[in-house]
Chains A and B, each alone.
Chain A
């Protein structure tokens, strides 16, 4: 899947560690998500959407 996580995080001036803290995941997980090496589970995708106040499909798109 493609995602706009890096852009959304950049807009808020957060580091990967900041985002990881907010999502209660490790920084490597954020990096793996941003680089497309890992697709999140549905609960994590919902948590990301809630954090950025967007819908899941606004953040994640099929590749």
Chain B
């Protein structure tokens, strides 16, 4: 198997590994912060998710470097589309705040960016499969991604609910966006061979 063909699997393992540790750190810090009195230890616990965010970002960079030129172009196009969509929404929101919409933290812009990136990449993967005459396979791939995102978000909501932690809608939106990015390798690459 060519090195480029192993890229999606490696990405899936690396990104989801970082994601698991990140979720554990986020959930753990909420719990631990009420039971730790030492200020130094408390600060370390509060900052503990940051290294895993860096690891997740590194996984995306490594995935990009393992891709071939066609998929790199697709990923950059998807990122450009998501940057454009984010710009339109965030600038519009600034004006909408003047007529009564709530002021939101900058963090929401990031959620929007990665959510749009995942959706745009999903669209490119779908278009590729349709152009090969695999419309049904394309639908299955999109459905599998949506199920993965929905189930992952529901599991997160259940775990945080079970622990008695607050689960605001934006935290669920963030989880859904990240899960979209986690699935990116699977829906833009297709291993099925074609003789044509």
Chain B residues positioned under 8 Å from A37 (CB to CB): 131
Interface size on A, as a range, is 20 to 34
Nearest Cβ on chain A to B196's Cβ, whole angstroms: 6
Q: Does B44 contact A (CB under 8 A)?
A: no
Chain B residues positioned under 8 Å from A20 (CB to CB): 2, 4-5
Interface size on B, as a range, is 20 to 34
Q: Does B190 contact A (CB under 8 A)?
A: yes
* Contact A26 B132, beta carbon cutoff 8 Å: no
Task: Give A1-60 interface residues, CB cut-off 8 Å to B.
Answer: 6, 15-17, 20-29, 31-35, 37-38, 40-41, 44
Could you name 11 residue pairs across A and B whose Cβ atoms are closer than 8 Å?
A15-B194, A16-B193, A16-B196, A21-B2, A22-B2, A24-B3, A26-B5, A26-B71, A28-B128, A31-B132, A32-B128
Hey, which bits of chain B sit against chain A, CB under 8 A? 1-5, 67-71, 73, 128, 131-132, 188-196
Hey, which bits of chain A sit against chain B, CB under 8 A? 6, 15-17, 20-29, 31-35, 37-38, 40-41, 44
